[in-house]
Chain A
């Protein structure tokens, strides 16, 4: 009597039989000759030399034995020779889970040396998918995959939070450059570029979004970010699930098509780049009429074409570059990031081994979401920690968000004196803002306003504080008055260069004070800017015009509407004072 098989184990057997197996998977299942060349390529093996269960052939055989038992003729004829063995229990499926999720990050370093062409990552991905299909996976994988299916991004960032973050970063940039023209455009139909990000950026690292926006702005790019389909990561790659792969990538492609953009730019993320640019079109089965490129290429082009100027002396600390497995080994992006690095950093130390031979950050393949394997991951990160330490660098640069997290975790664990950053951060830091793009206010007005005496007459304390702060930031000496009478006293005592005058004041209106000033020979030319909170419905200028006409006095030198925009205020005040000068 044969062994009985659990329901899930039977489903896995059925799936294995039914699964379309690509040439690469078949080759990987059939052709290992146990030569052992792959063994010392794996960071898990190097960090755990006494444990043979980390060896790639051992891990691969967990699935290979099962395949041979059901699919391969050798398993039927000479099962004892080829080690064919089926799976029967849920416990065996759990054991397989610990191997395929917990002991391999799919970094593909072992595949580089395999004389038979076994592709461990694709092979492992298939095994993960068999388990995932019957609901056997680490809880963290469950959480992330479900978020990506249902919320549309793998970190469950809600739409309102994503949009708020973009708005926040836009404001930060405007404030940094004192330039309200800097925008993070959203859903701009017909834009040249649609920029897509890793949700980690929106959730934990919005600075990277701001840095990219800064680069796009100063390069004069016509760009936007989509309100949906903005997540370029794809957990379908990590769980070997082509249906999730298709759903996630098609959402991004659909956004690009609906916005009618010319190009999709993918921010620095190894698996995101591979999923979106390389695997996604096959998963989604979509004909795409737009190119896709890594932001590394975009930044490099901007620098080479002179669209942005950079000063490498601004990044003077010693840096080293970590090649992401998916970006470098799987997609061949090894030289472009180094070229960018050489243009924006002055002290670069190469890491050894590097490029396609680099070691995994140890957080790849979704490992950062599998907390149950964290101790094993960090123990196995020893080899990476030694590699980092040997560079003597203070900063490790990587073009992958997964690697940022993996490296940050191991740096903390091994007490390395390093921090992790990305090229986008370094390029933004090295930016030289050209004089032609300096805000007008900064160029022309900041000096003329220095030392000017300004009187703020407003009955609202908050408004006085706000205006005083703005004027002081521009080098002015400021006096405050809560009403017209106190304002008049200060005018006589301090002789200000300009009066910022509210219209609605207690006791005596701003209108009346203005009339008194214009009647007075000494103050009839004192510049006055009306700072008013009237709406358009009862625009003071309409009544005020009638008042001016009635009294036969000239109009004030300027008007600024509340709510006050600091740039508009300073431009108006500067215009008035410059004209006077």
Chain B
């Protein structure tokens, strides 16, 4: 048993899509894809990037090198090397107090969900987008993620399950009520 097992997941349904809040290891989940909050130059770097390189091997990095770079709000989908998931959606989001954080984050989320639909994904896991190291305020992140996920599902989706996967209780508590009341 791990300590995360002390935190009971929160689950709800929007239409026929399950929305789940989980305190777990994002990059170890068995899902069709998880989302990685990328830099414009697609350099994987550390944090979740450490896990992608350690668990996935070099394949993801090589794919990203071929793609080169993306612009703010854009995303690309790659395979996931030897990881438990099938794909990784890399999205370039706002960082470090740059202007129009909320608007940019909304664009990111919409593009991520469109990419998931375009690729026929059924299960998708997302971190609390841009919070923590990149400094996106948690309330902004919660509001944008919940809004865009709800709108996306209502507009028709291939996704059967969307997981918001957090590292700690701070993030878990920020999403808990919102997810439960979807």
Contact surface of A with B, Cβ cutoff 8 Å: 7, 11, 133-135, 142-147, 149-152, 156, 158-159, 161, 187, 226-229, 244, 246-247, 250-251, 254-255, 258-259
Contact = CB atoms under 8 A, between A and B. Distances in A.
15 contacts: A11-B97, A133-B135, A135-B96, A146-B45, A146-B49, A149-B133, A156-B46, A156-B47, A156-B51, A156-B54, A161-B54, A227-B3, A247-B168, A258-B6, A259-B3
Nearest to A163: B2
Nearest to B131: A149
B96 A258 contact: no
B50 interface: yes
A254 B133 CA distance: 20
Contacts of A149: 47, 132-133, 167
B3 A229 contact: yes
Contact of A146 (B25, B55, B133): B133
Contacts of A145: 133
Given A11-B97, A146-B45, A146-B47, A246 B167 contact: no
A254 B46 CA distance: 24
Contacts of A133: 96-97, 135
The 3 closest A-B pairs by CB, nearest first: A150-B47, A135-B96, A156-B50
A143 B4 CA distance: 25
Interface string B166-182: 01111000000000000
Nearest to B168: A251
Interface string B13-37: 0000000000001001000000000
A187 B6 CA distance: 11
A197 to B, nearest CB: 15
A254 B3 CA distance: 9
B73 interface: no
Given A135-B96, A146-B47, A251-B167, 19 more contacts: A7-B99, A134-B96, A134-B97, A142-B46, A147-B46, A147-B47, A149-B47, A150-B48, A150-B133, A151-B47, A151-B48, A152-B168, A156-B50, A159-B2, A227-B3, A228-B2, A229-B3, A250-B169, A259-B3
B97 A227 contact: no
A229 B48 CA distance: 17
Contacts of A250: 168-170
B93 interface: no
B51 A158 contact: yes
B13 to A, nearest CB: 28
Contacts of B45: 142-143, 146
Contacts of A134: 96-97
A187 B47 CA distance: 24
Contact of A150 (B3, B28, B132): B132
B81 interface: no
Nearest to A256: B3
B50 A151 contact: yes
B114 interface: no
Interface string B132-154: 11010000000000000000000
Contacts of A151: 46-48, 50-51
Nearest to B95: A135
Contacts of B6: 258
Contacts of A11: 97
A247 B3 contact: no
B165 to A, nearest CB: 11
Given A133-B96, A147-B46, A158 B168 contact: no
Contacts of B2: 159, 187, 227-228
Nearest to A155: B50
A145 B135 CA distance: 12
Contacts of B54: 156, 158, 161
Given A152-B167, A228-B4, A247-B132, A143 B99 contact: no
B138 to A, nearest CB: 9
A11 B3 CA distance: 39
B3 A258 contact: yes
A227 B2 CA distance: 6
Nearest to B26: A150
A133 B137 CA distance: 12
